[in-house]
Amino acid sequence: MSIYKECDIRGVYGEDLTLAVAERIGRAVGTILAGGVVVVGGDVRVSTPALKASLLAGLLRTPVRVIDVGRVPTPAFYDAIAVRGADGGVMVTASHNPAAYNGFKLSLGPRPVTPDDIARIAGLAADDAGATGQGSMVRSDTLAGYGARVRDRLAASTPMRIVLDAGNGAAALVAPEVLRSLGHDVVELFTDVDGTFPNRSPNPSMPGELSALQTEVLRCGADFGVAFDGDGDRAVFVDSDGRVASAEEALVVFARALVRHGDAVVYDLKSSSVVSHAVDALGGRPIMERSGHAFIRDTFLREGAVLAGEVSGHFFFRELGYDDGIYAAGKLAEVLADKGSTLAAEVADIPRPVITPDLRVEWPLDERDALLARVGSAFKDHPIATLDGVRVAFDDGWLLARKSVTEPAVTFRIEAGDAERLQARRDALLAAVPELAGRHPYFG
């Protein structure tokens, strides 16, 4: 599959993502941002220094002024763009992907990148075409300033005990110091930087990956635990009972603290219906958007939303304008301290509907649209959204079918109020598309 995704660029280092390709991508970005200031940062992956050097070589073939902010978590990269008034930037990272992967997160102006932006870069890189000129570069340490700005935006009336699992990723560079500077008692897990990620996956949302964090939260009587992904822009929380809280539960906790009448909250279409119900109850405006960082952030900015979140653990706050897992951890501590509460107590009254994981089913590329049409037809008596695929709404949940953007497959996800109704929805889907049987264990 192509390294050029809808919102960013990712691939296996040395196979589909090579140093030569990185240099061409650098030139392509420099062409788009010619005459401007470009921030460049990188995560802690083993391949990042080499890829970053090649990217910089390409950028410096164009008339741009580069600020190299070194090894940073992605939120510090976003912060550097904002503070320095840069025209854009490139972060060398594959975020939550396994260690063999790497890639580039892009900023090409005040709005998030679009699929058209990615396609333009792909075209320029393929032809090694674009602007020519002599760029310039300065190196600048941004971590201390980023940490200070996070600290200045947060407060905590009472110190919290927090177990911090950095997963050996980029958040380890600054997150422990930031939380301690706010007065919290921080217990560290996997904060030795190691781009091979030896202790757990860089994706903290994967089932079973947070067992060490759960155990440590219980052992030391922590108020909560937090795990970051490989580049620190996502956060997954564990409550004081050692239970992994869903991203939707965390979003509801944030919403209860932040939403005032009329405030918008953006959530992705794979989120549990508890989010929209909670925001409605608060007098806010729940706005559903398709999954994907760039799509969520674009709507978040356009609507002037107070908050946004994805099931993957991205949290966006109005005062930042972007997602930041480290800030989210500090914000949760602030919310809990102000309430004199724990995360377990705050999520206790949030309904927990039954929801499947993503159910990926291989399907021929040229037959996927017909499949989605069959799903829509089978449930035509229910409200249907076509924001991204087909999303059928029920009183107590939904059924989603959407095309994979990275492979010849369709992904299904189903929510219901209880297991019996979930089974009924599965059976109705199977009746409409009998060919699903045998293609995924869930469908028999």
- Single out the catalytic residue among 47, 95, 201, 271: 95
Find where tokens 């301690």 sit.
180
DSSP H or E segment with residue 317? strand 315-317
Total Cβ atoms within 10 A of residue 427 = 11
CA–CA separation, 182 and 188 (whole Å): 16
CA–CA separation, 204 and 190 (whole Å): 13
The crossing angle, in degrees rounded to 10, of helices 325-339 and 74-84 is: 100
CA of 291: how far to CAs of 6, 85, 121, 405, in Å?
11, 28, 22, 11
Is residue 10 part of the annotated active site? The answer reads: yes
Residues with Cβ within 8 Å of 3's Cβ and at least 6 positions away in sequence, in order, are 9, 10, 11, 16, 17, 21, 103
Is residue 95 part of the annotated active site? The answer reads: yes
CA–CA separation, 223 and 245 (whole Å): 13
Burial of 306 (0-12, 13-18, 19+ CB in 10 A): buried
CA of 91: how far to CAs of 42, 149, 155, 302, 318, in Å?
5, 20, 29, 23, 22
Note the Cα 178 to chain centre separation in Å.
Answer: 21
- Single out the catalytic residue among 96, 290, 297, 314: 314
Is residue 439 part of the annotated active site? The answer reads: no
Active site residues: 10, 95, 314
